[in-house]
Amino acid sequence: MKHWILGGVAAFALAGGAQAQQQLVVGHATPPTSHYGVGADAFIATLTELSNGAFTGVQAPAGQLGGERDMIEGLQIGSIDLVITSTGPLGNFVPEVLALDLPFLFRDYAHARSVLDGEIGQEMLAAIDKNNLVGLAWSENGFRHVTNSQRPVTKPADLDGLKLRTMENAVHMAAFQGMGASPTPMAFPEVFGALQQGVVDGQENPITVITASKFWEVQGYVSLTGHVYSPAVVLASPALYDGLTDEQKGWFRQAAAASAAATRAEVDRLEAEGVALMRQNGMEVITEIDRAPFQALAAEAAWPVYTDRFGSAMIDRILAVQ
């Protein structure tokens, strides 16, 4: 971890004037040119423009501030300003959002975005706000797929015996146990090395992350299972946000909306181009997959992690969104 970039908001005087400029740090787990990096740049550019330079910022990409769970904890204690994170580890802090990580819940990108941009998404952001975090906007990671170094995966039996890195998320781990794999929770900055050293056989992530991380260097197979839609969220530290004026809070929310829009656009681009890119870099891409047996096993194992605690009302509402 690079400690020089920690410490919350850094305020310093603009050259030649008394106006104070606050330089913010936007942390995320993926490379600076990834979809999260695109979103971080959009956030910083929009906030700088809206504030006429009173706020600016820099990225802290590629896990410089730690894994996603570490960064969320940093927001809570005020040592980190802003984070773009998947919802994977967020369920450890805000259990209600585990609903969004249920396998085979969302039909497609249009369905997922409609849910997050609508009433349900706003309710989830409000739940985040009650847990010493500030949810600014829903962003995107994408539909997740399985990669591994051992064999093509076309049916659940192909997962038997595979050690797969998952996020630190009870729903995800239960889903892969149900489908026959051996889930191994691990912070994202550790994943590439673990794959390279054979600590785990594979991992699961959206095309956006697979390509940005160049997992083809350590993985030979990718199966487009689309087993989970992975939302992302732009989070702020209450220590930062609560000190803002109402006008400034509006700037931050507009910047977060711009960040989400830029990230989604990058996800769309990479979804369109990513399969060819993975093949060009030597991966065998398995596209013909019968998802029904995966869905049956994953849902049976993972959905009760949420429904046993919160019931099925939220799931029914999500499924009903058109």
* Tokens describing residue 50: 């809206």
Question: pLDDT by residue (tens digit) across 185-210?
Answer: 999 999 999 999 999 999 999 999 99
Question: Which of 232, 264, 245, 268 has its CA nearest to residue 125?
Answer: 232
CA distance 296 to 217: 32
Q: Would you say residue 149 lies in a domain?
A: yes
Q: Would you say residue 257 lies in a domain?
A: yes
* Tokens describing residue 160: 């038997």
Q: Look at residue 7 and tell me whether its pLDDT is greater than 80.
A: no
Q: Look at residue 180 and tell me whether its pLDDT is greater than 50.
A: yes
Question: pLDDT by residue (tens digit) across 226-243?
Answer: 999 999 999 999 999 999
Among the residue ranges 7-11, 25-29, 268-272, the one predicted with the least confidence is 7-11
What are residue 33's phi and psi, to 5 degrees?
-95, 5
Range with top average pLDDT, 3-7, 17-21, 270-274: 270-274
Structural domain boundaries, residue 34: 3-317
Per-residue pLDDT at 41: 98
For residues 14-43, average pLDDT: 85
What are residue 169's phi and psi, to 5 degrees?
-145, 120
Q: Would you say residue 231 lies in a domain?
A: yes
Label residue 283 by pLDDT band (50, 70, 90). Answer: very high
Label residue 18 by pLDDT band (50, 70, 90). Answer: very low
Number of domains present in the structure of the chain: 1
Q: Would you say residue 322 lies in a domain?
A: no
Per-residue pLDDT at 20: 78
* Burial label, 19 (beta-carbon count in 10 A; 0-12, 13-18, 19+): exposed
CATH code of the domain containing 121:
3.40.190.170
Q: Look at residue 17 and tell me whether its pLDDT is greater than 80.
A: no
203 vs 182, 185, 223, CA distance in Å? 11, 10, 11
Q: Look at residue 14 and tell me whether its pLDDT is greater than 80.
A: no
Q: Would you say residue 95 lies in a domain?
A: yes
CA distance 199 to 36: 27
Buried b (16+ CB within 10 A) or exposed e, 182-206: ebbebbbbebbebbeeeebbbbbbb
Q: Would you say residue 159 lies in a domain?
A: yes
Q: Would you say residue 228 lies in a domain?
A: yes
Question: pLDDT by residue (tens digit) across 85-117?
Answer: 999 999 999 999 999 999 999 999 999 999 999
* Tokens describing residue 123: 């309710």
* Tokens describing residue 211: 């390509």
